[in-house]
Amino acid sequence: MTSTQSGKDVPAKTEHASHLGGPSSGELASLLDEAFDYRGDVTLHLANGTTLTGYLFSHDPHSPEPCVKVYPTHSSDRVTLRTADILGVELSGDDKAAGRSWQAWVQRYDEKKRLRAQGHDVGNIEPQPDSLD
């Protein structure tokens, strides 16, 4: 399985439960932080043997009962899960914002300016919104 990160296809990052019952709390917290920052769907592997795929939009690792909130892929519902019930995290969908950072935009703009200064026809270099496709 691959996912798109920084405009490239790379293997999807997957962390699953070990034979000892899953990642440590520190490892899980790190995986959930990464999943929260990821702007695509994630697949959560749960202790009951099921998976949940969707957009992880909230997590509270410091609450007395740490949890995550997910918009499932094929539902308009919100699902709240205790982090204790999560055994693995997979970045399974395309990151819709990959390559769309401010730094990436400035780099593309500077390159077009450089080419135009060399006499190349680069078209309009004024700021234009990126397509979300």
Question: What's the CA gap between 52 and 31, in Å, rounded?
Answer: 15
Question: What's the CA gap between 74 and 64, in Å, rounded?
Answer: 30
3-state helix, strand, coil in the chain (%, to 5): 25, 30, 45
* pLDDT tens figures, 19-39: 335 677 788 888 898 898 888
Q: Is the pTM of this model over 0.75?
A: no
What is the predicted pLDDT for the residue at 80? 95
Name the least confident of 52-66, 85-99, 104-118.
85-99
